[in-house]
Every structure is written in C-alpha cells, then in structure tokens.
Amino acid sequence: MTESSIISLDEEAVQNNVAFLKKKIGKNVIISAVVKANAYGHGIEEIVPLFEKYGIKHYSVFSYEEAIRVYNSLSDPHPIMIMGWISDENMIDIIKKRIEFFIFNTERLQVALSYAKSLNTKINIHLEVETGMNRSGLNINQLNSAISLIKENKDYIDVVGFCTHLAGAESISNHSRIQKQLKKYNQLLTVLKKNNIKPQYRHVANSAASFVYPKARMDMVRIGIMLYGFWSSTEVFIQYINNKANKTDPLDRILSWKSQIMSIKDVKCGEFVSYGLSYLAQTNIRTALIPIGYASGYSRSLSNKGIILIQNQICGVIGVVNMNMIIADISNLPDAKIGDEVVVIGKQNGLEIKVSAFSEISDQLNYEVLAHLSESIKRTVANKQ
C-alpha cells in the first residue's frame, strides 16, 4: 500500500444491492441513485460506473459540481437531477447538457427561463413543493406563479418531475406528519393537473419512504443510503424483516477502509499517550501509530473509544485522535510489525468493524460518518472474480 489509507469498493455488493432494490421496488418505478456528498463517501467517479453497469439509469445530486462529475463518469447519457445548489453562471452549462434541476422558488425559474430563451432551447425542471418539511419548496402561491410562467413559456420549459421531500420517513414518530405531507402533495398535484401540466415523474420517496410507505413510490424513488448497503434506521430494517422467515440483512456493505501500521512504540506505566492528559498508561503497553485522523474522516469523538482490526484482533484507539494519526493499543499483539494491515471499516477474516460502530460510539449518523470520509483518500474497486 503506497497511500496512508485506501477505501475499497466491492463490486459484488453493488450488484447485490441494486438487484435487491429493483426487485422490491418493482420494474415500473425508476430508481434514481442519490450520489451527493461524493456518493456518500464512496467516490462519485468510482461508484457511478458500477451503478450504471448494473442498470441504474437516473442520478440525483445536490450541486452543479456533483452533476458534472456524474456526467463525466457515465459511459452513456442518463438523466442527472440537481436537487440543490446551482449558481446563475452555471445555469447555461446545465441547460446545454440537458441536466435536470429542482425549482423550489420562482426566482430560479425566472433565471433559468431567461437563459433558455437566450439559447433558444428547453429547460428540464422538477417542481419541488413545500408540504411540511419547511426546508425548500414552492408554497401554493409560488406554485401558481410558476404555473403561470410555465403556461406562458411552453416552448422553453419541460416539467419532467413534481416532487417533495418527506420529513423523516425512517421513524414511526413522524408518521402523522408524513401522512399530512402526502395529502398536501396530492392536493398540489391536483392544482398542476387542473392547469393541464402533466409531469413525467411524480417522486417523493427516499430509501426509508420507499419501504415504509410503498404507496409513496409513485413513478420514481430517490435511493441513497440503501444502495450503499445501509438501512435508513433500525426501525426500517425491523419493519422489513418482521414478517419474513429469513431475518438476515439482504443488503451488503460496499465500502471498506484500510490502513497500515506506520510505527510501533513501547510506553511505560504512568506515561500519557497523545495530546493532553486523556489517556494514562496503567501498565507497560505497546502502541501502533496509524496514518489516519480527523482530516481523513476519523472523528475526534472516537478518541479513547474507537476500535480497529489488526492481525484478526480488535484493538482500541487510545488518546486523542490527531489530524493525521491515531494510536492503538497493540499490547496483545507481540508479533505486530510496521506495515501490518489495519482495518478501519470492513472485514478481516471473521471479524468486522461496521460504520454503525462509529455512529454508536460517536453519536454520528451512518450518513455523517460516510460523508466525512475525505475525498483525498484513494478509492479502488474490488472487481468481481
């Protein structure tokens, strides 16, 4: 290993997850792969070709920059949908590349329309409506304004989608709120239809909603975390397996993160380890220095709490997590040597450290742990045998 650490992606896991989701969601519903936040830490340039290989034909991102990375990673043209940030100066490029984007305020629609007219071409838009999340989306007055603009400029606007975002489908505590959102969405959809505007795709569901609220699947679902092998929450997983004889998880984790021992040191009883006074050696111990830290996405909240795998044994992370280094107690590994493999996330023989181990210790969401994995870490694909 020439790099300080490497993230590896399992192609068979990608194939498994895509096949499972396609089977469960049904052939009449399009899966849009959500690849924002560098594909949940997996790497856009590495994961998108794999998704494409196994039949994903629609992609959702947050920003223009992510859209261009997806655009450049695809071997064939497929729809790309920007759900969030676009600066005015990037709008022309988006329109020329036929990239779709959310309209969540009338200002954006007016800007996009002006560029469409200057280019004498159509914009491909998804009208996002406010249904109770109170984050982004058109309220009824703004929707009516947008409808007027669309009707006046039919030659320049293609309404590809009509969408909203549900506020926490992964938790039963949000059930009544989500039911109200779905009712509101359908009311606003009726307004659209009365004006003879018929979107190609109705879409409201993320990973959790696709399983908890099957009726919310509509024409398209925006699947993120489940494609990568994670359930949105324990609640969603339990609900899925509840009436099934086979209780094993049908999803496979795609990502593993490995490093190596950089240095080994003996520390005497009574000595402190790393910054400050948070770790005091209670006996003579042996430590391994590993070249990852919070700059690479290994959170400082894992100081004196994290675990790693070396030589098929779990070793504790001791002392404060540094910017570029962590220290592990390897007192039980007398044969450990510089260069030995260190598994940060993933499997080593029969043992495994899951992303959930991070989240449970550090109070971070799975999403958060993955999104914090530095883009500077090299990503590789473990191809099928």
Q: How many Å separate Cα 130 from the centre of its chain? A: 23
User: Please, which residues bridge with residue 272 across strands?
Assistant: 280
Listing DSSP states for 179-209 in one string gives HHHHHHHHHHHHHHHHTT---SEEE-B-HHH
Q: Which of 53, 275, 279, 298 is catalytic?
A: 275
> H/E element holding 9?
strand 5-10
Residue 64 a catalytic site member: no
Burial label for 218, CB within 10 Å (0-12, 13-18, 19+), is middle
Rg (CA), the chain: 24
The encoded tokens of residue 145 equal 């304004």
Burial label for 76, CB within 10 Å (0-12, 13-18, 19+), is exposed
What DSSP designation does 129 have?
A: B
Q: Which of 24, 36, 185, 337 is catalytic?
A: 36
Listing DSSP states for 285-308 in one string gives EEEEEES--GGGT--GGGTTT-EE
Residue 275 a catalytic site member: yes
Binding residues: 135, 323
Binding residues for substrate: 135, 323
* CA atoms in the 13 A half-sphere facing the CB of 364: 22
Q: How far is CA 378 from CA 1, 41, 374, in A?
A: 11, 11, 9
> Catalytic site residues?
36, 275
